[in-house]
Structure 1
């Protein structure tokens, strides 16, 4: 009889744990931000880019998934003003030797592996697709009840964006552009 009670209690605990259903929290795109920084030998440029849509998936309070689509045509340079090269740089970033937004208007990020580092802190490995090329990217993500934040470093050359890269072209001198660019992401849901 004692064993039957133990088995029954164990079964109730297992079934209770299994009954926690996943909750998908849609991202409020108008309240969320993605700020980018690209560096070169002689300085840096920064700007913003917009999410088309996205969602994080939780089981209870634990992050278990996420997917995002970014509108590559929304890329804006914020460190230059009109007439100072802003329009030229934005056009170049949309051109084929950078993001090729006429052909590849959306970049996607799909969470593949999530490891809990601490309460509300996760290491996420995702598949990032830019210009039709998918590569893994890993970053830490902090969550609260209705926000998530991260800083992500991306090597643009992995997505066939080699313009001005000292890794591929010699004699660039002070015209070289760093291979990595950084994204500071603040999500609200």
Structure 2
């Protein structure tokens, strides 16, 4: 069952999510090593500055922020495994985060939700291109379900209880818009 706040975010970002999914060559299985590594570099350039702020906010212990804060390290490990040690450009236009509030939860919704899609992509890429480093896409591994469920429960209890669904939705939309624009600018997303 989808929680009320999750439903608001899912419906309110559906078009953005579809634009992102349809623009990724990875999702169609049309992938080569250079394109995949470019995608990882671009994603790292967006995620790292965002993640450094997002999971340093004053979240309650139950949200498990430290467990959620390592996605940039997974991307760096994949790039290192592929022999890609060069610095990556960093996105300066990530959503602004000042507090552990509904807006930040909306941003986190996009970051955490990517873990669900990542597992699907990892399975697909293992079949078509088994030599690619997939640590980031494998994400939380077997913990993806429990961590996602825990995140959605917190999202619903905080944003829903405060009547701040619209604020959370704006955070999610801003995150999708920022990510999409950045990936396009780095030639990691088709127009």
TM-score with structure 1 setting the length: 0.26
Q: Which structure ranks higher in relative contact order (CA pairs < 8 Å, sequence separation ≥ 6)?
A: 2
Which structure's residues are more often helix, by fraction? 2
TM-score with structure 2 setting the length: 0.25
Which structure's residues are more often strand, by fraction? 1
